[in-house]
Amino acid sequence: MLEGPVAALEARLGQIEAKVDRIDGALQRLEPAIRDIGSKFAELNAKVAGVEGHLRAMPTFIQLAVALISTWAARTAIVFALLKVSHP
């Protein structure tokens, strides 16, 4: 009386075990790829940190504008000083 349902459950259990084995094999194949992705993310993180450091080392627009204006002012002062000395 219970042999039929038990046999069906055993057959179904066998199918489930086969699927679990396939999933396990797929996961084992994915594990090295996941480790590789992790190392690539570490490399990418290091590169981004390097670029960020270079960007922070660059002068800002305000610093460049002040340097340009001060250079222009110094040149103008030199020109006026030379004009004053050369024309009595």
pLDDT digits 0-9 by tens, 36-60: 888 888 889 988 988 888 888 888 8
Residue 13 shares a structural domain with residue 32 = yes
**Residue 86 has which token pair?**
């050369």
Q: What is the pLDDT of residues 12-35, one digit of tens each?
A: 999 999 999 999 999 999 888 888
Q: Are 53 and 12 part of one and the same domain? A: yes
Looking at the structure, tell me whether residues 11 and 33 fall in a common domain: yes
Do 75 and 39 share a domain, yes or no? no
Confidence band, pLDDT 50/70/90 cuts, at residue 70: very high
Q: Is 50 found in the same domain as 83? A: no
Residue 67 to residue 64: CA distance in whole angstroms: 5
pTM for this predicted structure:
0.43
Same domain, 64 and 83: yes
Please check whether residues 68 and 33 belong to one and the same domain: no
Domains held by the chain: number: 2
Domain with 24 in it: 1-57
Q: Are residues 52 and 66 in the same domain?
A: no
